[in-house]
Amino acid sequence: MTILNSGVPVVIEWHKFVVGSSFYIPTLTPDTLMEAVERAANLRGMKVKSRFCLEGATQGVRFWRIN
């Protein structure tokens, strides 16, 4: 499953995404990105928590694996 962030493909190394780890993706469409990543994680049997945030001067979403 390819995740698109405003039309740009996002590569997530799911095998490295262990419980307690997180990653950040800058985006202009946070709700759409959150839904896509959560759907992809669910297909892999993972649960994630997501939060819109600012890092530096860039808006985006941070994802944490919680199981």
Q: Report the alpha-carbon distance of residue 11 to residue 4 in Å, rounded.
A: 9
Cα 59 to Cα 1, 25, 29, 53, distances in angstroms: 24, 9, 10, 6
pLDDT tens digit sequence for 26-57? 999 999 999 999 999 999 999 999 999 999 99
The one-letter amino acid code at 60 reads G
Q: Report the alpha-carbon distance of residue 44 to residue 13 in Å, rounded.
A: 12
Domain of 53, in residue numbers: 3-65
Q: Report the alpha-carbon distance of residue 35 to residue 14 in Å, rounded.
A: 16
Count of domains observed in the chain: 1
Q: How much is the average pLDDT of 12-16?
A: 95
Q: Is a pLDDT exceeding 90 seen at residue 1?
A: no
Is 17:45 a contact under the CB 8 Å cutoff?
no
pLDDT of res. 2: 85
> What percentage of the chain carries pLDDT values higher than 90?
97
